[in-house]
Structure 1
């Protein structure tokens, strides 16, 4: 199964900045877990290990990995980093989400 998930230049730049400040991490791991106010939540963790069934996305030297169980929920998504007046955060634009909460980290399908 080929899953398409993209990483924006802004997200890649921020990941590289975060990883440069870490001594024990080399990539960003994104996952989907049950919970949150809309049914599912995104998880963001720093990691140094890539599992055999992980999808690896690379852009401008930044690496993001997504576990196999989370892939169907993220098909067609774009991982971005936004810096707005109300705060800066990674944002996932997910075409599979039918609803999302105001914080942007919880969604339903």
Structure 2
């Protein structure tokens, strides 16, 4: 399989606000140019949970979504559960965090990182 490819048209979207935050976090951690790994793992209170981590390079088969200076890496298995989703950055009184708007999620828990599909 070919190396990870950056593409502007994807089944997964990253808002400019989220991309800017990814770039800021990577720079703050001394890893300019690194990206945010977004993965879906089994577990959490609703069946699946989102996992976020800063990584310097994508895996060979990752989808790389580039927006501005930020990059997000999604593996093929997670992409199936994230198809049609959008990653955003939310700031509220209870704190700031990445938020996934996932049309496949039929329910979610209060923490916002756990969901189930129908």
In the superposition, the TM-score normalised over structure 1's length comes to 0.94
- Could you say which residue in structure 2 is the equivalent of 1:16? 23
Instruction: Give the deviation of 1:24 after TM superposition.
Output: 4.2
| Aligned mate of 1:49, from 54, 57, 71 | 57
Residue 6 in structure 1 maps to residue 36 in structure 2: no
Corresponding residue number in structure 1 for 2:47: 39
TM-score normalized with structure 2 length = 0.87
- Tell me the distance in 1 between the aligned counterparts of 2:35 and 2:24: 11
SS at match of 1:69: helix
Question: What is the CA–CA distance in structure 2 between the aligned matches of 1:76 and 1:104, rounded to whole Å?
Answer: 17
Q: What count of residue pairs does the alignment treat as equivalent?
A: 108
Runs of 4 or more consecutive aligned structure 1 residues displaced over 4 Å after TM superposition: none
Query: What are structure 2's unaligned runs of at least 5 residues?
Result: 1-8
Q: CA RMSD in A?
A: 1.4
For structure 1, list consecutive stretches of 5 or more residues without a partner in the other structure.
none
* Counterpart position of 1:30: 38
CA distance in 2 between partners of 1:104 and 1:75 (Å): 18
